[in-house]
Amino acid sequence: MRALLVVNPAATTTSARTRDVLLHALASEMKLETVTTEYRGHARDLGRRAADNSDTLDLVVALGGDGTVNEVVNGLLHYGPDLDRLPRLAVVPGGSTNVFARALGLPNDAVEATGALLDALRTGSERTVSLGRTKGVPGTEDEAVPERWFTFCAGLGFDAGVIGRVEQQRERGKRSTHALYLRQVVRQFLDEPHRRRGVISLERAGEDPVTDLVLSIVCNTSPWTYLGNRPLYASPEASFDTALDVLGLSRLSTPAVTRYATQLLTSSPERGPHGKHAVTLHDLTDFTLHSKVPLPLQMDGDHLGLRTSVAFTGVRRALRVIV
């Protein structure tokens, strides 16, 4: 088997020694080329190279966090899904949260996940997963925004604002911890100008629009994220086997935030946030989010700047993954 290992040296939970151990373990089982990323977007470029050389490459292994995985996936799918042609993807978690890997059922420890990966390769265990895809909306100021894929979630508005704040803190030298995220949630709430009446609308063919949303979370799987070892289920029905799910909130007053935060912290695979100001939609293939004002957009925990319109597509059977 011929494989490309994409290593993010800045992965927060793996040391250089651990990475060496993982590299030798993988190299003992396959013909392995290892490339360490050197700049933002490098993993995407390597994924595209793998897609270009799919006739000589069987597998791409991403060692890093959700951002590294997202870049590799966007490179692999540069020309679109092609299950018969594209190399398979494998993930070794090395970030602080590792939502995609954990949602696949992989151990959150990099060494244990490598062992599980090698076992899966020996037995030929893999699954085909759905993914989310976004692009600009024709006739809007964002129509030229390039297409982009995400593996587990996206968001326009509040949660993307939180991620933007976290990235600012990390640029100042702060470590990416769950405590840092919680602090930024509070600050985003205090500074949110539209928390009593939202500016986001969701539109889909043949249905009335859903309007006045303050928060819009798009999920490709469940759980949505993790707080330490606690899974949080924003859209419990979301799955790698279906299209996209959406959780929208039309109010973020102090009582509403208290209620929905409690529901999220106590959420389960059977029930997520619910109530008068909550909108839940399941298995959407195509829809568009519009905002009356520019709002932050995030995908797989990566802040992508401000947008007013984003078109979403849930693509079933988009990529083969070793599990």
Backbone angles phi, psi at 146, to 5 degrees: -70, 160
Last residue of a domain, one of 95, 124, 153: 124
pLDDT at 16: 83
| Same domain membership, residue 186 and residue 156 | yes
Identity of residue 46: L
Task: Specify whether 160 is located in the same domain as 309.
Answer: yes
Domains: count for the chain: 2
CA distance 76 to 151: 13
Q: Which residues does residue 280 pair with via DSSP β-bridges, in sequence order?
A: 247
| 85 assigned to some structural domain | yes
184 and 271 together in one domain: yes
124 — alpha (psi -120 to 50), left (phi > 0) or beta? Answer: left
Domain that holds residue 294: 132-317
For residue 243, tell me if it sits in a domain: yes
Distance in angstroms (rounded) separating the CA atoms of residues 132 and 316:
9
235 belongs to a structural domain: yes
Asked whether residue 106 falls in the same domain as residue 189, the answer is: no
Instruction: Report how far residue 215's alpha carbon sits from residue 247's, in angstroms, rounded to the nearest whole number.
Output: 8
Instruction: Using the structure block, give the residue that is written with the tokens 């009446």.
Output: 197
Does residue 226 sit in helix, strand or coil? strand
- Do residues 208 and 201 touch, judged by C-beta distance below 8 A? no
- Using alpha carbons, list the distances in angstroms from residue 53 to 47, 58, 128, 320: 10, 9, 21, 17
Cα angle value 111/116/117 (rounded, 5°): 95
Below-50 pLDDT ranges, the chain: none
Cβ neighbours around 99 below 10 Å, total: 24
225, 213 contact by CB (below 8 A): no
pLDDT of residue 197: 80
Would 69 be classed as within a structural domain? yes
Choosing from 93, 124, 155, the residue where a domain stops is 124
Residues 163 and 262 in one domain: yes
Q: Both 31 and 105 in a single domain? A: yes
CATH of the domain at 246: 2.60.200.40
Q: pLDDT value at position 211?
A: 96
Task: Give the Cα separation of 73 and 71 in Å (integer).
Answer: 5
Q: What is the CATH number of the domain that holds 114?
A: 3.40.50.10330
Domain presence at residue 322: no
Cβ neighbors of 120 (< 8 A, separation 6 or more) are: 90, 126, 322, 323
Helices 110-123 and 16-27, interaxial angle, to 10°? 10
Domain annotation covers residue 251 = yes
> What integer pLDDT is reported at residue 290 of this predicted model?
97
Task: Specify whether 159 is located in the same domain as 60.
Answer: no
CA of 185: how far to CAs of 44, 113, 225, in Å? Answer: 29, 30, 14
According to the model, what pLDDT value does residue 257 have?
86
Burial class, 6, CB count within 10 angstroms (exposed 0-12 / middle 13-18 / buried 19+):
buried
Q: Is residue 323 part of a domain?
A: no
Question: Are 60 and 161 members of one domain?
Answer: no
Residue 234 lies in a domain: yes
Give the tokens for residue 214: 């303050």
185 and 288 in a single domain? The answer is yes
d(CA 162, CA 183): 9
Same domain, 175 and 97: no
Of 124, 155, 184, the residue at which a domain comes to its end is 124
**pLDDT score, position 120:** 96
With residue 314 as reference, give the H or E element that holds it. strand 302-322
90 and 166 both lie in a single domain: no
pLDDT for the residue numbered 92: 95
pLDDT at position 186:
87
**Residues 56 and 149 reside in one and the same domain:** no
CA distance 317 to 323: 15
